Amino acid sequence: MKIKGERIASFLMKEINDILYNKVRDKVIQGTSVTSVNLSSDYEYAKVYCINLNDNKDTIKELNKSKGFIKSELYKRKLPLRVLPELEFIYDESIEYAKKIEDKIKEINDVKR
């Protein structure tokens, strides 16, 4: 991703996190954090990777239902884009994957001892 794309992705991540913490009142969505945003090369689509502290699997479904509200809140902020990208919320499995790898490493180290 080019520097402009990285800057826009970083801006979107910061602003969406702020909206989730301060504007969204849905109990299912509370405790959700955006971990990364990947923009398409034409800036028309954004994959928003999220985790939920409450480990609620319905969170992504609710976020995708609420994306109209989230986009309307983003429009109120000074964006470096004329048109907002279409948002797609995706559960970020990388943290769970890292934990599984860490557990396997601990297991291997315990066997060696």
Q: What CATH code is carried by the domain that includes residue 36?
A: 3.30.300.20
Residue pair 26/66 in contact by the 8 Å Cβ criterion: yes
pLDDT (average), residues 4-23: 92
In total, how many domains does the chain have? 1
Q: CA-to-CA distance for 88 and 113, rounded, in angstroms?
A: 46
Q: Which domain holds residue 91?
A: 3-112
Residue pair 75/85 in contact by the 8 Å Cβ criterion: no
Return the pLDDT at 1: 57
- Reported as a single tens digit per residue, the pLDDT across 48-94 is 999 988 766 788 999 999 999 999 999 888 777 788 999 999 998 88
Share of the chain above pLDDT 70, in %: 96
